[in-house]
Amino acid sequence: MNKTYTGDFIDEPLIQALLTETASLPKNQLEAIIEKARKAKGLTTQEVAALIQLEDETLLQKLFSAALEIKQKIYGKRLVLFAPLYLSNYCINNCVYCGYGCRNNQITRKKLTMDEIRDEVQALEELGHKRLMLDMGEDPELTPIEYVIDAMKTIYNTTKDNGAIRRVNIQIAATTVEEYKMLKEAGIGTYILFQETFHRETYSKMHPSGPKRDYNWHTTAVERAMEGGIDDVGMGVLYGLYDYRFEVVSLMLAINHLEEKFGIGPHTLSFPRMRAAEGVNLDTFPYLVSDDQFKKIIAVLRLAVPYTGMIISTRENPDYRDEIIDLGISQMSAGSCVGVGGYKAQLDNLKKGEHTAIEDSSQFQVADHRTPDEILRNICEAGYIPSYCTACYRKGRTGDRFMPLAKSGEIQNICQPNALLTLKEYLMDYATPETREIGEKAIQKHLAMIPNPQVKQMTIDELKKIETGERDLYF
Ligand code: SF4
Ligand code: SF4
Q: Residue 136 falls within a domain, yes or no?
A: yes
Q: Residue 26 falls within a domain, yes or no?
A: no
Mapped onto helix, strand or coil, the DSSP state of residue 91 is: coil
Strands of 334-456 (E only): list them: 385-387
The residue to mutate among 98, 104, 207, having the most atoms of ligand 1 within 8 angstroms of its beta carbon, is 98
Output the CA angle 132-138-141, nearest 5 degrees: 115
Strands of 204-294 (E only): list them: 233-237, 268-270
Are both 461 and 380 inside the same structural domain? Answer: no
Are both 332 and 238 inside the same structural domain? Answer: yes
Residues 156 and 165: their CA atoms lie apart, in Å, by 6
Of the residues 391, 420, 438, which one is the last residue of a structural domain? 391
Are both 169 and 78 inside the same structural domain? Answer: yes
Work out the pLDDT band at 70, boundaries 50, 70, 90: very high
Q: Residue 401 falls within a domain, yes or no?
A: no
Nearest-CA residue for atom 4 of ligand 1: 95
Atom of ligand 1 nearest to the CA of 210: 7
Q: Residue 30 falls within a domain, yes or no?
A: no
Nearest-CA residue for atom 2 of ligand 1: 137
Amino acid in the structure at residue 257? H
Q: Residue 31 falls within a domain, yes or no?
A: no
Are both 373 and 417 inside the same structural domain? Answer: no
CA of 105 to the centre of ligand 1 (A): 14
Are both 193 and 281 inside the same structural domain? Answer: yes
Q: Residue 294 falls within a domain, yes or no?
A: yes
For the chain, give the number of residues.
475
At residue 367, the pLDDT reads: 61
> What pLDDT digit, counting tens, does each position of 288-311 carry?
999 999 999 999 999 999 989 999
Q: Which ligand places an atom closest to the C-alpha of 241?
A: 1
Q: Which domain holds residue 418?
A: 409-467
Atom of ligand 2 nearest to the CA of 80: 6
The total of structural domains in the chain comes to 2
Are both 308 and 359 inside the same structural domain? Answer: yes
CA of 385 to the centre of ligand 2 (A): 13
Are both 367 and 245 inside the same structural domain? Answer: yes
Q: Residue 88 falls within a domain, yes or no?
A: yes
Ligand 2: does its nearest atom lie under 6 Å from the Cβ of 414? yes
Are both 360 and 430 inside the same structural domain? Answer: no
Are both 337 and 435 inside the same structural domain? Answer: no
Ligand 2: does its nearest atom lie under 6 Å from the Cβ of 104? no
Q: Residue 171 falls within a domain, yes or no?
A: yes
CATH code at position 77? 3.20.20.70
Lowest mean pLDDT among 18-32, 91-105, 207-221: 91-105
Are both 350 and 386 inside the same structural domain? Answer: yes
Ligand 2: does its nearest atom lie under 6 Å from the Cβ of 389? yes
Amino acid in the structure at residue 181? K
Residues 96 and 109: their CA atoms lie apart, in Å, by 18
Of the residues 333, 364, 391, which one is the last residue of a structural domain? 391
Nearest-CA residue for atom 4 of ligand 2: 415
Of the residues 391, 426, 445, which one is the last residue of a structural domain? 391
Are both 317 and 427 inside the same structural domain? Answer: no
Lowest mean pLDDT among 11-20, 131-140, 271-280, 382-391: 271-280
Residues with CB under 6 A from ligand 1: 91, 93, 95, 98, 100-101, 137-138, 212
pTM of the model: 0.94
Are both 253 and 326 inside the same structural domain? Answer: yes
Average pLDDT of the chain to the nearest whole number? 92
Work out the pLDDT band at 342, boundaries 50, 70, 90: confident
